[in-house]
Amino acid sequence: MVCTSMADNPTWLSLVVALVALHFVVSASESEQEILLKFKDSLKNNEKLSSWNASTSPCANGAANWVGVICTTGGSVYGLKLEIMGLSGELNLTPLKGLASLRTISLKKNSLSGSLPSVNQLGALKSVFLSHNNFSGEIADGAFYGMMSLKKVDLGHNRFVGKIPVSLAKLPRLLELRLENNHFQCQIPSFASKNLAYLNVANNELDGSIPEALRDLDRASFSGNKNLCGGKLPACPERAESAQPLSGESVATNTTSLPPPARAEGHHSYKVSLIMGAVIVGIILLITVIVYVIKSRPSQAPDSVEAPAPERTSRAKSGEAQADAEAGPSMTNIGGGKKDHQQTKLTFLKDTTGKFDLQDLLKASAEILGSGVFGSSFKANISPNGATMVVKRYRQMNNMDKEEFQEHMRRLGRLDDPNLLPLVAFYYRKEEKLMITEFVSKGNLASYLHGKHDADKASLDWPTRLKIVKGVAKGLSVLYRELPSLTTPHGHLKSSNILLSDSFEPLLTDFGLVPLVNQEHAQKLMIAYKSPEYVQHGRITKKTDVWALGVLILEVLTGKFPANFSQGQGEKEFDLALWVNNMVDEDHTREVFDEEMKHTENSEGEMLKLLNVGLACCRGEVEARLDFKEAAEKIEELKEKDNDEEFYSTYGSKGKSDDFNSSLEQL
């Protein structure tokens, strides 16, 4: 298999442009009825298309008369959904070029064979689903050139061979690509689309390194390719070209230039001597520096705290995209010498775990939970009372003076609700601040939605996800009520800032911090400043937390991480709300739900209602977005099971998402 591309061949590109141009040459004399009847005749075993006949039109008054035809409200053919119909033979899409409104075609689970048809004849398509057939052979590099609107491609479970076509990787609006269970070879190309939300190339014959932009995708997306590496698969072996033996031809042509063995050996000894000399000089310099530092250090004041270094074990944190380079020194540097002695006292806001002081924290065995966007988090086991606390150390909190900071901490400390993690104590110093809370052993929501699932951390089922969303809404209600002066009472709502109790009750953390954080850092790092209203107009509003709640709801239902939360410029990255809206618009609403979500029987109606609320919360236009109170009321009304028999019979039995789509317009 030769893994080369014809993409740069001008003759090839000219041919592709000519083929795409043919799409616009439409015979005005052919009706949609005639076009579809020609297409029917090109298929074998088409008995299930008996409703396709010359006595009726495919569409009438916006409704379909023919099986498998999707119509626009204007009466034109919008899509073909001919799944599980036993259709066979080679697929010829040429007759369909005359359908000006055709945007989607699905022929999944038939017995179609031969090579991939000329899909780019239908240049306006948004989605193509051809999985579970018997297509085979290589796909031409230019098979998808010119398809600027194509968002979803499903070619899985066929017998395609060769490399993944370059034109497929260059689709600018691609959202989903399924190529699993084929025989594709060579390396995975880099994809042009910034909104690619789902990729599956499992069980092929691909090799090489996974492209950088795809390395955060699930391991399952790449499994079954024994020569593929990188990302969440085993690391790629380092290249050692210098260690590779010369070929016979190379040896024959270069023997005259090789130095005599004795000379080579002497040269090697000379290099070793140089290296040893450099090492010795380096050691001497290092010792000199250490002695200088020790002698120049001021003597320790007798009343200062001399804390032993905490015992640390590293643990990966969930939901954070990057470590903060300004996380600061270890816990042992807090407090310092005589100058800071008056500042080493903790201010307690809760008395639920017994008192301890800063010395106890410094002496505690500490586990680094992670370095986030604002600083470091430590898990500390306090010796006096056996309590386990979490100490969050912040460096970018100089937006208030000491008195204002302390008053704000007391306001947060007075908050008392089962869905808010209580602030136990805090510590103030100009250079840094500590906030101390109780340790919650189950971890955060992000680790359950996006981490590895095992016996201790199974996938969340539907009732649990609903419980979590309801708890989040209740916690936010308290923040809106008790912190009315804050434009964004939370300001940093995301799945990694939601801890889970042993009973999966959510506990909101990192709330109320927007007034404290330095403005330049808040704008770069906090969720509120990634909202559409701030990105577009430079402002946050009372509905900014509602937007974050909406994105969280979509994350909980889809299991997909909103990657723009962890990037500097959210508008240029994957937009979860946009992806869900596109899925709904194209009648694939049910496909957005997380496949790992269990216990959804007789619950589809309630799941759709919650999806509805999520979309209404994260609308880009602030005026069109739900008020928080209205959103909270709608969430509270939701149930685990569908009690409305009529609602369930509509959505559960018919399985038509266009009915649900129309209900979205009512919000």
Residue 288, domain member (yes or no):
no
Shared domain for 182 and 92, answered yes or no, is yes
- How far apart CA 134 and CA 182 sit, in angstroms, is 10
Q: Are strands 432-438 and 423-429 parallel, antiparallel or unpaired?
A: antiparallel
Q: What is the CATH number of the domain that holds 109?
A: 3.80.10.10
Is residue 323 very low, low, confident or very high in pLDDT (cuts 50, 70, 90)? very low
User: Residue holding tokens 């306001």?
Assistant: 411
> What is residue 240's predicted lDDT score, i.e. its pLDDT?
36
| pLDDT surpasses 90 at 420 | yes
Shared domain for 134 and 159, answered yes or no, is yes
Is residue 260 very low, low, confident or very high in pLDDT (cuts 50, 70, 90)? very low
Shared domain for 433 and 461, answered yes or no, is no
- Angle between helix 657-664 and helix 604-617 axes, rounded to 10 deg: 40
Instruction: Strands of 171-280 (E only): list them.
Output: 176-178, 183-186, 198-200, 205-209, 227-229
Question: Which residues have a Cβ under 8 Å from the Cβ of 523 and sit 6 or more positions away?
Answer: 529, 534
Shared domain for 505 and 429, answered yes or no, is no
Q: For 496-509, what is the mean pLDDT?
A: 95
User: Residue holding tokens 């909190």?
Assistant: 397
Q: 289-293, 359-363, 374-378: lowest mean pLDDT where?
A: 289-293
Domain boundaries, position 129: 32-229
* 59 Rama sector, left if φ>0, alpha if ψ -120 to 50, beta otherwise: beta
Shared domain for 464 and 416, answered yes or no, is no
User: 106: which strand partners?
Assistant: 81, 129
Residue 248, domain member (yes or no):
no
Which of 85-109 are b and which e, b meaning 16 or more Cβ less than 10 Å from the residue's Cβ? Answer: bebbeebbbebbbbbeebbbbbbbb
Residue 656, domain member (yes or no):
no
Shared domain for 520 and 624, answered yes or no, is yes
> What is residue 659's predicted lDDT score, i.e. its pLDDT?
43
* Residue 108 near residue 132 (C-beta atoms within 8 A): yes
Tokens standing for residue 132: 């579970």
Shared domain for 365 and 461, answered yes or no, is no
Three-state SS for 656?
coil
Shared domain for 423 and 458, answered yes or no, is no
> What is residue 4's predicted lDDT score, i.e. its pLDDT?
59
Mean pLDDT computed over every residue of the chain: 77
- Angle between helix 576-585 and helix 604-617 axes, rounded to 10 deg: 130
Q: For 231-251, what is the mean pLDDT?
A: 54
Pick the last residue of a domain from 424, 439, 454.
439
Number of domains in the chain: 3
Shared domain for 563 and 462, answered yes or no, is yes
* Residue 407 near residue 392 (C-beta atoms within 8 A): no
> Residue 356 has what DSSP assignment?
-
Q: For 529-536, what is the mean pLDDT?
A: 88
Shared domain for 513 and 628, answered yes or no, is yes
Pick the last residue of a domain from 394, 423, 439.
439
Shared domain for 75 and 164, answered yes or no, is yes
| pLDDT surpasses 50 at 259 | no
Pick the closest to residue 222 from 235, 212, 234, 233 (CA basis).
233
Measured in degrees and rounded to the nearest 5, phi and psi for residue 115 equal -80, 170
* Residue 372 near residue 470 (C-beta atoms within 8 A): no
* Residue 52 near residue 66 (C-beta atoms within 8 A): yes
Residue 1, domain member (yes or no):
no
> What is residue 538's predicted lDDT score, i.e. its pLDDT?
86
Which amino acid, one-letter code, is at 623? E
Pick the closest to residue 384 from 408, 406, 364 (CA basis).
364
> What is residue 215's predicted lDDT score, i.e. its pLDDT?
82
> What is residue 106's predicted lDDT score, i.e. its pLDDT?
94
Tokens standing for residue 210: 């996974």
Residue 620, domain member (yes or no):
yes
Q: What is the CATH number of the domain that holds 409?
A: 3.30.200.20
Shared domain for 433 and 452, answered yes or no, is no
User: 60: which strand partners?
Assistant: 63
Pick the last residue of a domain from 229, 254, 272.
229
| pLDDT surpasses 60 at 21 | no
Q: For 421-435, what is the mean pLDDT?
A: 90
- How far apart CA 644 and CA 92 sit, in angstroms, is 45
Residue 372, domain member (yes or no):
yes
The model's pTM is 0.53
- How far apart CA 628 and CA 633 sit, in angstroms, is 9
Three-state SS for 388?
strand
Residue 279, domain member (yes or no):
no
* Residue 488 near residue 514 (C-beta atoms within 8 A): yes
Which of 457-490 are b and which e, b meaning 16 or more Cβ less than 10 Å from the residue's Cβ? Answer: eeebbbbbbbbbbbbbbbbbbbbbebbeebbbbb
Q: Are strands 152-154 and 423-429 parallel, antiparallel or unpaired?
A: unpaired
Is residue 637 very low, low, confident or very high in pLDDT (cuts 50, 70, 90)? very high
Residue 169, domain member (yes or no):
yes
Summarised one tens digit per residue, pLDDT across range 95-118 is 999 999 999 999 999 999 999 987
Q: What is the CATH number of the domain that holds 553?
A: 1.10.510.10
